[in-house]
Amino acid sequence: MERINWRGRVVAALVISTAMVAGTLSVASAIGGPDTKIYACKGNTTGLLRVVPAGTSCLPTESRMDWDQKGEKGDIGPAGPRGPQGPAGATVLFATVQGDGTLVDGDAVSVTKAGVGAYHVTFDRVVRHCAAVANLAVVNDEGPTFGSGSAVTYPYGTNVLVRTRFSNNAAIDDPFDLVVVC
C-alpha cells in the first residue's frame, strides 16, 4: 500500500509541475514584451483574474480587461533634500628648486641642501602620507630642458627628501620640480 501511495505522490507531483510550467509559459507568451498590452478575463462574481493571449474570448461570466505593461511617464517629483558635504579634494603642493638648493617658486616654505644631490624641501603641513614626485628640469626663457638622470622622493613629517641622480646613479646637483599630492 505504501508503494502505491508513493507512486501516486510522484505522479501527482509531475502532473502539478507540468501544469505550473505550462501556465507560466502561457502567461509569459500572453504578456509579450515590455511595450505590449496585457489582456485578461476577470470573473464578474469572484473577481479572479486570468491573463490570456490577445484575441481570446472571455467566458460569459467574465469581463474582458486590458492594460499597458508599461504605463505613461509620470510627472517629475520634487527635488530631494541636499546631501551631506563630500570630502575635500586633493591638495596639490609644488616646488621648483635650483641645483644649488635655491627655492625658485612654489608652496614650499624652505629648501635645505643636505649634500650632493640631496635636498630637504619643507612645507607648512604634514606630507608624510602624501605622494611626491620630482622631475629633473631646467626652466629658462627657451622652455624646459629635461635632465638625463632621475629624482627619488621620500616624504616624511613636513618635508620631502629629494635625491637627484645622474644616469649612472651618481649623485648630482640638478634642478628639479617637485609635486606633492595629499
Indicate whether 55 and 107 sit together in one domain: no
Is residue 120 one of the residues assigned to a domain? yes
Q: What is the DSSP letter of 46?
A: T
Alpha-carbon span 82 to 72, nearest angstrom: 29
Q: Give the count of domains, the chain.
A: 2
Domain boundary among 70, 100, 128: 70
Alpha-carbon span 147 to 126, nearest angstrom: 29
Phi, psi at residue 98, to the nearest 5°? Answer: -80, 165
pLDDT by residue (tens digit) across 80-114?
Answer: 999 999 888 899 999 999 989 999 999 999 999 99
User: Range of 146's domain?
Assistant: 92-181
Is residue 108 one of the residues assigned to a domain? yes
Indicate whether 99 and 172 sit together in one domain: yes
Is residue 17 one of the residues assigned to a domain? no
Distance of CA 62 to the CA centre of its chain: 52
Instruction: Give residue 101's pLDDT.
Output: 94
Is residue 78 one of the residues assigned to a domain? no
Alpha-carbon span 2 to 176, nearest angstrom: 92
Indicate whether 42 and 105 sit together in one domain: no
> Whole-model pTM above 0.75?
no
pLDDT by residue (tens digit) across 30-89?
Answer: 455 555 788 888 889 888 888 899 888 899 999 898 887 777 788 999 999 999 998 888
With cut-offs at 50, 70 and 90, classify the pLDDT of residue 149.
confident
C-alpha cell at 40: 485578461
Instruction: Give residue 5's pLDDT.
Output: 59
Indicate whether 65 and 122 sit together in one domain: no
Instruction: Give residue 66's pLDDT.
Output: 84
Please report where in the chains the cell 507560466 appears, as a residue: 24
Indicate whether 66 and 102 sit together in one domain: no
Alpha-carbon span 19 to 12, nearest angstrom: 11
Average predicted confidence (pLDDT) for the chain:
81
